[in-house]
Structure 1
Amino acid sequence: MLIMTFYLAFGRRYIVVTTLFLVCIVPHVYSLMAVVKTETPLRTFVRFVGPAVLIPIITIVVYGWLAFEVLFWIYFLIQRRRLQQPRYPTRRLTKDERTALFWNCVHTIKDPEEWCVGWFYRRHDCSHPAFTEIRRENFALWFAWAFWHDELDKVRENSEDAAELEWMMNTAESRFQVKVLPGFNDQLQCIRLSLDPVQAVHRPLIMYAAIYCGTALFNTLFLEWSWHMKRLGSRSAGVLWGGFFGFLEECREMIWPSATDSAPKKDRAHKHKHLVYWYYEPSSPVSAKQTPIVFIHGIGAGLLCYGEFMHHLLGLGRPVFCVELPYVAMHMVEHVPTADETVEEIVAMLETHGYPRAVLVGHSLGTAVASWVAQAVPDKVAGMVMIDPICFLLHYHHVGFNFVHRTPKRLLEYLMHYLASRELHISYYISRHFQWFQTIYFVRNLGKEQVSKRGDDFDPQDPLSNTTVFLSEKDGIVDSPLVAQYLQQNHVDARIMPGLQHAAFLINWKWRQQIIHRIEETARNIDDEGIRST
């Protein structure tokens, strides 16, 4: 019965765990009682309570937890089915915006055949096809999704949109001097993130419980007590934690309020609806007036994964904001603000604390948020440090295919596959809320057919004029050599971290130190400019 319950809760892959539990753990309850020869508090307790009481208690706890796991498995199946519903951008591209995006993409594609085949894979083994296998209707499917965010049939219902789509495909063929064969190859699948199914694999409730407990301890012991940070922003239910853990978080806040309650009134002046962030204000009045740093984490378990990095970041003695993205932190959160809402609240966050602009530091998906801010309100960005960025050359397939559709073959790929890309709410965000056309960051605006040669220098107000990009050489998500070449050709400071995988800088002291040093230099450049201007 115990094995069957565990099977329902976890699936076949965890049946071995159940066997080990029965064979190894339960007998040790008895052996523990036998091996304790001397008088100890444990023996006194066991002798006082007696095995007749302990064994039933342990059994009830185990069966009770497994019952919760079964219910959570059913909950997962219901949620996965419900989250399959399609979602469309709140604001779609206009014709002029589509045309500009098209030309920006065209001007940054070096090898059209390699670029094209990346967006397609064979149904039976997820491998990329040869260019000659792709037919015109397959190509049209991708264009309909990429520029209209919809199915091909719906795009062709509008005669103007249908004509524009044909113009794009004809122009691409003419520009790149290639010819796509007519017809449709039904053995190929096109990557269309917002239209493809939400792919997710069940995770046991105990994993989410461990993340919740670990996050609560990290926030309390380190962020609040050790580093004296304040949790500010939205207090709405379902923003920071979702599901049952949202209820637990509300109860915890009632019993043990976080440091935000003791924050000055100015810190709570703006009523945030979507944003949760942590704020560190240096005790020195001089340091408190320096250019602040805004850190935005990537996909994973939130700020919990960046503890040591944050420790060194706070060691710079500058004001620091750490923005939470709970919808990609395994917090079971469905509440996802739009890009515009996120930018609006980050701007409000800075203005609330009296800072006209800040240095943005983003890792992985955090660079997408940095890209939104830099493109929407460049005057608020004093500079940027981007680590393993996903926002450059996003019209290439690498991010979409490697994170969502690639069949894992190596250990790190399996870890990313199970711990990140197939987690229900992370997959839901990527497949239903992440919009590539909002996130892609073109170094030069080449949104027209004929492009004049521009100078090497950036506009001083351009955030990229004070930006450094760090790329992991063996990144399994981003094509780092391609991105580095693109950035360096456009005179952006791009640095390759040899031998590192995606996010490996977190365990590599040499590069972590260089990144922290570069963040300080970037912020100090702005401080020095302010001193000279006065």
Structure 2
Amino acid sequence: MIGTSKPEYYFILVCIVGLHYLAPLALIYCASNIILHGIKAAAYRVPLIIEVIAVAESLFFLCVFLPYRAYLQREAVHPPLPTYEERKELFRLCNDNIPNPEAYLRKWFLGAELSEIRRENVKEFLLWAFFNRGGPPRDDDEELEEYVSEMEQLLGRPIEPGWGNAKCLRLTLDEVKMLHRSLVWYLCVGFVDFLTYMTLLYHGFHFHRTRLSRFFTLFPFRFQSLFTSYHSPAKHTMYWHRPHTSKTKLPVLFVHGIGIGYYPYTNFLSELNSTAGIESSNPDEQVGIIAIEIMPVSFRITHHALGREELCAEIDQIMLEHFGPEQKFVLASHSYGTVVTTHLLKNPSIAKRIGPIVLIDPVSILLHLPDVAYNFTRRLPVSANEHQLHYFASMDMGVSHTLSRHFFWNQNILWKDDLDGRRMTASLSGRDLIVDTTAVGRYLCDRPKSVLGGYTDEPDLVSIEDPSGSESSTLRLRGGEMDYENIDQEWKSRAWQGTGIDVIWHQDLDHAQVFDSRTSRLKLIAVIRAYCEER
């Protein structure tokens, strides 16, 4: 992710304008050429390369983008309706973890005034969020009334009856919003993919392709697939593998986030088996790595995102191929990959083999909060990093379709209880433009029995253990609730313990920037290497 400086702002705007308006200019050129010259338009009047690009971009826009965009507007196939008890429990968990109820409601309603968010508006939102459907209330109206009443208690005021002018964000029901990508852009993606291939090969990774009969189901085409002898046991899922030779350490499964594939992670993956930049020749130091590729969120034109069960089944096939049926492993994931982590943790046959977990810029924790959905899909970009996120990620055809038709928040959300006592480290960035990392950090670090040293004799004071070993500090409570202005500083600076839930806080980093700096990467690598020691 780029920064927010003026030079970066102008740079990203130039890139967006150059890539986005290439197709309209090509269409205008071809149309005017035909109108002015008729059948003689085929005889080129400018350098051949310009003619070729103009015709190719025009055909791609008319014959691929327009029909594909219409195709991707098909309705989502929602998962089965949870039971009444499951809905009640999910609603309770959500309500118990809303830092600012008014801001929560307004953001789900795209910034509408509270006076315009009325009872029927809230029911429309709840029908999508907890019942996986749109339309008016039916026999579920009584249950909806229960939820609205509990929301009124949370807000501390009644919600007016009837309809207001507010419109809520209903990700899997709303239009799939996307912007055209030029052929030149896909050529860039293909070139970066080839660089990634060569880099990971150099560092001892093997690329495992799917069947060659699926070669044309992915664009830009991966010609490196024609030269690898390694095959994926899964139908759709390709991956990178580095053999596990250590007999005393756990291997690692890694899942990337939305972006251009594994290019931003090459240094991170290659450094997992090195110390001070030098790779050990000791086989017992060589930790095996499987890096799963999620093509629908990697700026490609390909198959739609796999459902939860199908994706877990394919990842399980891959792990059985390399790790075997009993081998535990460290599970690490970044951003969208943390959603895959949620699915794996909720799959019984896989969960029993999952050891410690590392979540980097996690989007799955507190996913009921509107920040991830709003910031990624609805926020109008202003700064350079927001423009980069909006154009290159949010408006990509595959990414937009995945989030709008195959992203079901109630399946993807991760609660602390889902960790089932595993050791876990979350890497959070203070300037994250997608996730409310402060809310996530507070939630993860709010552990009264393990973190708080115990209540003092004074009812409005609480003693906090300093993990560095120094004297405990005392923080004042406000009406029985923690004074987060003080405790924020404590959990953000707390030393990594390696037991229970840990948070690594990067105050000055944005989403995904943790992989840009060797210093911040090494912090993550140290955690993963420590977790690999668990047998």
Shorter chain as denominator, the TM-score bin is 0.7 to 0.9
Specify every segment of 5 or more residues in structure 2 that has no aligned partner in the other structure, as ranges.
1-16, 30-42, 275-284, 452-500
- SS state at 1:431 partner: helix
Which amino acid in 1 is paired with 2:295? P
Per the alignment, residue 343 of structure 2 pairs with 372
CA contact (8 A) 1:301 1:330 kept: yes
From 446, 450, 458, give the equivalent of 1:489.
446
Q: Trace 1:85-234 onto structure 2 (pairs within 5 A).
A: 85-121=74-110, 128-153=111-136, 156-157=137-138, 159=139, 161-174=140-153, 176-186=155-165, 188-219=166-197, 221-224=198-201, 226-232=202-208, 234=210
Which of these residues, 227, 234, 249, is aligned with residue 290 of structure 1?
Answer: 249
CA contact (8 A) 1:120 1:190 kept: yes
1:385: which partner in 2?
358
Q: Which one-letter code corresponds to 1:305 in the other structure?
A: P
Match of 1:501 among 501, 504, 510: 510
- The one of 414, 419, 423 equivalent to 2:392 is 419
**Alignment equivalent of 2:268, drawn from 309, 313, 329:** 309
Once the two structures are aligned, what percentage of the paired residues are identical? 28
Question: CA distance change for structure 1 residues 12 and 333 in 2, over 3 Å: closer, same or farther?
Answer: closer
- Match in the other structure for 2:435: 478
Matched, 1:274 2:236: yes
* Post-superposition CA distance 1:483-518 (Å, at most 9, x none): 111111036211210111111112122211111111
Q: Given that residues 339 and 363 in structure 2 are in contact (C-alpha distance below 8 angstroms), is that contact kept between their aligned partners in structure 1?
A: yes
CA distance in 1, matches of 2:421, 2:183: 43
Residues 241, 326 of structure 1: 8 Å contact kept: no
Q: Map Cα deviations across residues 295-352 of structure 1 (whole Å, 9 max, x no partner).
A: 1110010112211111112436200000000000011123321112222222332222
Corresponding residue for 2:476? Answer: none
Correspondence for 1:465: 422
Partner of 1:71: 59
The SS at the match of 1:471 is strand
Equivalent position amino acid for 1:467 in 2: M
The answer as to whether partners of 1:475 and 1:500 remain within 8 angstroms in 2 is yes
Alpha carbons of structure 1 residues 194 and 208: separation in structure 2 relative to 1, 3 Å:
same
The residue type equivalent to 2:343 in the other structure is W
Measure how far apart 1:142 and its partner are: 0.8
- For 1:199 and 1:437, locate their aligned partners in 2 and report how far apart those are by CA, in whole Å: 22
Give 1:217 shift. Answer: 3.7
Flag the 1:64–1:233 CA change in 2: closer, same or farther, 3 A. Answer: closer
| Gap runs ≥5 in structure 1 | 1-6, 20-54, 122-127, 262-267, 446-461
Counterpart-to-counterpart distance in 1, 2:242 and 2:291: 9
User: Which deviations, in whole Å up to 9, do the C-alpha atoms of 1:249-295 show, x marking residues without a partner?
Assistant: 4x664xx421406xxxxxx6xx412322111114xx4x166311111
| 1:29 corresponding residue in structure 2 | none
**Amino acid in structure 2 at the alignment position of 1:356:** Q
**Match in the other structure for 1:124:** none
Whether 1:258 and 2:215 are equivalent positions in the alignment is no
SS of residue in 1 equivalent to 2:352: helix
Distance 2:442 2:116 in 1: 29
1:105 is displaced (CA, Å) by 0.9
| TM norm structure 2 | 0.76
Q: Cα distance, 1:64 vs. partner?
A: 1.2
* CA displacement at 1:10 relative to structure 2: 5.1
- Paired with 2:212 and 2:308, the residues of 1 have a C-alpha distance of 19
Cross-structure match for 1:35: none
Counterpart of 2:95, as a letter, is V
* Residues in 2 aligned to 1:66 and 1:73: alpha-carbon distance in whole angstroms: 11
Amino acid at match of 2:342: S
Deviation digits for residues 390-441 of structure 1 (CA, Å, limit 9, x no counterpart): 0111111000000000000101100111110011111010111011011111
Tell which deviates more after alignment, 420-429 or 332-341.
332-341
- Aligned letter for 1:232? H
Q: Please state how far the C-alpha of 1:464 moved relative to its aligned partner.
A: 5.2
User: Structure 2: how far apart are the matches of 1:233 and 1:12?
Assistant: 32
Counterpart Cα distance in 2 of 1:423 and 1:389: 21
- Between 1:170-179 and 1:321-330, the stretch displaced more is 170-179
* Correspondence list, 1:240-259, <5 A: 242=217, 244-245=219-220, 248-249=221-222, 253=225, 256-259=226-229
Counterpart of 1:61? Answer: 49
Q: 1:73 & 1:391 partners in 2: Cα distance?
A: 35
The amino acid across from 1:333 in the alignment is: T
Q: Secondary structure at the match of 2:426?
A: strand
Q: CA deviation at 1:204?
A: 0.8
Summarize deviations over 1:195-222 as a string: whole Å, max 9, x none. Answer: 1111111121111122113213421x22
Return the alpha-carbon distance in structure 2 between the equivalents of residues 242 and 288 of structure 1: 39
Q: Is the 8 A contact 1:83 1:198 kept in 2?
A: yes
Larger radius of gyration: 1
Equivalent pairs counted in the alignment come to: 438
Give the distance between the partners of 2:153 and 2:209, measured in 1 at CA: 51
Structure 1 residues 357 and 274, CA gap change in structure 2 (3 angstroms): farther
* Partner of residue 454, structure 1: none
Q: Is 1:484–1:495's contact at 8 Å kept on the other side of the alignment? A: no
2:295 is matched with which residue: 321, 326, 341?
Answer: 326
| Cα distance in structure 2, aligned partners of 1:420 and 1:9 | 14
